Structure formats: structure tokens, C-alpha cells
Amino acid sequence: MTVDTLRADRLGAWGAVRDTSPVLDALAAEGMRFAAAQVQWPKTGPSFASMFTATYPKDNGIARHVGIPLPCAFRTLAEELSALGYQTEAVVANGAVGREFNFDQGFDGYLETWKIDEDPGLNRWQRARRDPNRAGRVTDLALEVAGRLDRDRPFFLWVHYLDPHAPYEPPRSHRDLFQGDAYFDPIPRVSIDSRRSRREIGAIGKADAVDGREELAFYLARYDAEIRYTDEEIGRLLTGLAELGLARDRLTVFTSDHGESLGEHNYFFGHGRLAFQTCLHVPLLFHWPGALAPGVDEDPVELIDLAPTLLEIAGQDLAAGRWAQGRSRVARLRGRGAGSEDARAFSEAGYAQHGKWIRALRERRMKLVYSPHPKDQQLIGGEGVAFALYDLEADPAESVNLAAERPEELARLKRELWTWDRAPRFDAETDTASCGEGRPVDRDTEELLRSLGYL
């Protein structure tokens, strides 16, 4: 299960102050929770490309934006599981991972919520008002798919929820949840740029403003309400799977493709542009009663490690515990902890072209951010400041650049970052002769991407 745009610290098990996630908190209490999971790029397409191929964006070419087709030269998790005899099904609610971009590779069935018309008699405006991508619809479709699974074969089911992606519009039943509560601070404001439809840095555009509201707390409460709504739908999904007899010996994995900046660093309601923890740090938990003991792993882990971990559990023989560029974390799932080589995570971010985007290295405590492009430098360390060094334990908000004060630490992390960044490109071994032509983008997919601010 994946939830779009969900930052870890808005869930109770990861320290949220509001009661946003009782279902997921209970799941985390019974499973192995990774407290410091990092995405490889805080944007939906690039993140899932890395997650399902276990390769870094700099090597697979899916960087910066959505709408770049996943190269068929790279094997996907679903393809590998299918080869192992698994049924592979998906229900997704974000056009960024639509069939047009080859994210259906390896899946027997791939349901895209925005392309399924519940009532052919409705016109386009009426369908838009019903919002076919709501978490409730995702749960309904996922249970329909699960009900058709062959009970005599193992299955892999991917369910991707879109809430709480901006614009933050929880259903009417949850719209006022958390508004005016004890954690609602009416003082901080967010400026609305009436001249622009979309804006993220320094203000929000008029398309993202709700009823002219400028209180930052109003939007935070709505974001949290969307999380609570999705959490309830996840509970309904888990209950429904149990009623279908699909609870025994089932491994449930939960994570997100990226977080969301909620005003930190003057970056409002967006993700992908900067490499701060607000967008890189996501929840990750494994729930498998009887097979995995409950626990918490505090060390950093990359989401490119998810696929090889699942493949080892599924019985695939991995050379040296690796698949593509990821490493199986089965040992850490069993509570053996991470060595110094394992306790680090590499990420990329930004909109700069020609490889001049942001690189980041996060260790247990320290984090280095390299910003080669002048526009990104202005937003992070200041003009001409390419390196920002943060002590995440003492400064979780990443507000104090320690690069000048700790030259030895800076030099050590720079060497590690350069070694990773300049390593030979990972080359896929799959023959691309059968890849075929690119797929045209469906009109409904284009409209969904536009409504989400991608176009």
C-alpha cells in the first residue's frame, strides 16, 4: 500500500501530534517500522521508477518531472514476481504512474481509477465532481480485484491512494476535522499570489487557495484530515481482505512516494523542488504476523531496497543480497540492525536540467546537500553556497548550515557523495528490441495531471 504525498511526521507512529492515523499506528505497533526511510526523488514518477526497478534516478533517466516513460529495458518488481508465479495486480489513482508511462510492466491487471466510468450516463463535469480518485473508490476497486484472485496461487497487490495530494480537499465528512483544534495556530500566514495560478516558493497561487484563506493552519488541518480519511479507508481495505480470507500469511508493506513541504523553508504545498526532509522522509513499515517480530529500525534506509527485500522474501536467489542497485533488508527486518555502510541514503531532487539537480546524502545523524544550480542555491544555502551540512539530531528543521564549522565532516561526506554520484552508470541487461513505440497520453490522464498541478 502506498499513499501519495505523505510525509512521515504527520503519522502518529512517526511523531504526529494529531490523531491522523489510528489504523496505520496499530499496524506499525505490530510490525517492523523503519523510522528513517528516504525516497530517491521526491516526485511521484521518479520515486516509483526507483522503487520498482531498484535503480537511482541518475541511472534510470526518470528525473525531474512526471510523464517520462519508464524504460522497458529495466526489469520491474512486478515482472520479477510474475516470473516467480505470482499473480500481479494494481489499483492506482495518480496519472503520473499511468499505463502511458509504462508503469504497468509486469502486472496482469492494472486499474487506473480515473479511466473507469462508474456511470456512463454522467457527463464530464458530473464525473469530475464525483472525484473517481478518492480513497474510498480505490478501496472499493482493490477489494473487487482481491475478490477475483486465485486462492491457490500467491499474489502481489499494489494499492496506491492519491489523497492527500494537493489541492487539499477532504470529503465533506472530514472537511472540518482538526479545524480550530488545540494545534491550530491562526497566526502564521501564507500569501496568495493573485496573478499566478500556481506558485510554491514564497506564496501559493490562486488555484491552490481555498476561499481566500491565508491561515497556514487551515491548510495544515486539511492535509491532516485527508490523511485521517485515507487511514480509515486503509482500515476498510484490511478488514475487507480479511473477510475475503486473504489475511493468513500475508505480508503487508506500507510506504509513500514522497512527502510534502508545508511552509518550511518558505516552500508551500509542494514537493520535488528541494531536498529537505519534509519531502524525502516517508513512512515505511512491514507487517507480517508470525513471521516478523514487532520492532523499530532507527537507521536510514532507501526505498530502492524495497524491491530486493520483497524478492528475497518471495524466494528469489539474489546475488550478494542485491537486485539492480538495491539491497535486500531482510536481515534488518529480523532486527539485526544496520552496519555503517548500510546506514545511509542517497537522494536527488530539483528541476535543473543536464544533471545539475540536487544531490543529498543522509547518514544516521548528518546530512549533506549539494546544489550546483544557482537558483537552487538561493533557496537552500544562499548565493554561491553549493554545500549545506545539517545535524538532523540537533537541527531537524535543517535551518543551520554547518559546512563552514565542520570542514572535516564536510570533506568526508563530499567524498562519499562523489563516489556514489560518479560511479559507472547502472546498465540494464534487458533487450529493448521488443519495447515498441511510446504510448499516446489518454485525455483523462492529461486532465488528471493538470488538476494535480503537474501540467
pLDDT at 124 over 60: no
Which of residues 120 and 446 earns the better pLDDT score? 446
pLDDT at 429 over 80: no
Q: What is the pLDDT of residues 203-246, one digit of tens each?
A: 999 988 998 999 999 999 999 999 999 999 999 999 999 999 99
Q: Residue 427's pLDDT is what?
A: 79
Mark residue 211 as left, alpha or beta (left: phi above 0; alpha: psi -120 to 50; beta: remaining).
left
**Cβ-based neighbour number of residue 276 at 10 Å:** 27
Which cell numbers in the block locate residue 449? 495531471
Residue type, 401: N
What's the number of CA atoms in the CB half-sphere (13 Å) around residue 137? 20
Q: Which of 103-112, 124-133, 424-433 has the lowest mean pLDDT?
A: 124-133
Q: What is the pLDDT of residues 157-178, one digit of tens each?
A: 999 999 999 989 999 999 999 9
Q: What is the pLDDT of residues 382-391, one digit of tens each?
A: 889 999 999 9
Q: What is the pLDDT of residues 180-195, one digit of tens each?
A: 999 999 999 999 999 9
Percent of the residues in the chain that have a pLDDT greater than 90, as a whole number: 81
Q: Residue 196's pLDDT is what?
A: 92
Q: Residue 125's pLDDT is what?
A: 53
Q: Residue 235's pLDDT is what?
A: 98
Single out the residue of 297, 325, 329 nearest to residue 312, CA to CA: 329
pLDDT at 254 over 60: yes
Q: Residue 440's pLDDT is what?
A: 85
Cα–Cα dist 233/145, whole Å: 16
pLDDT at 139 over 80: yes
Single out the residue of 5, 97, 96, 10 nearest to residue 42, CA to CA: 5
Segment holding 3, helix H or strand E:
strand 2-3
Cβ neighbours of residue 221 under 8 Å, at least 6 residues apart? 177, 178, 179, 181, 184
Q: Residue 442's pLDDT is what?
A: 85
Residue 370: phi and psi, rounded to 5, are -110, 120
pLDDT at 252 over 90: yes
Q: Residue 162's pLDDT is what?
A: 96
Cα–Cα dist 141/223, whole Å: 24
Which of residues 314 and 130 earns the better pLDDT score? 314
Sorted by where each starts, the structural domains of the chain and their CATH numbers stand as 2-344 (3.40.720.10)
Q: Report residue 126's pLDDT band, with 50, 70 and 90 as the boundaries.
A: low
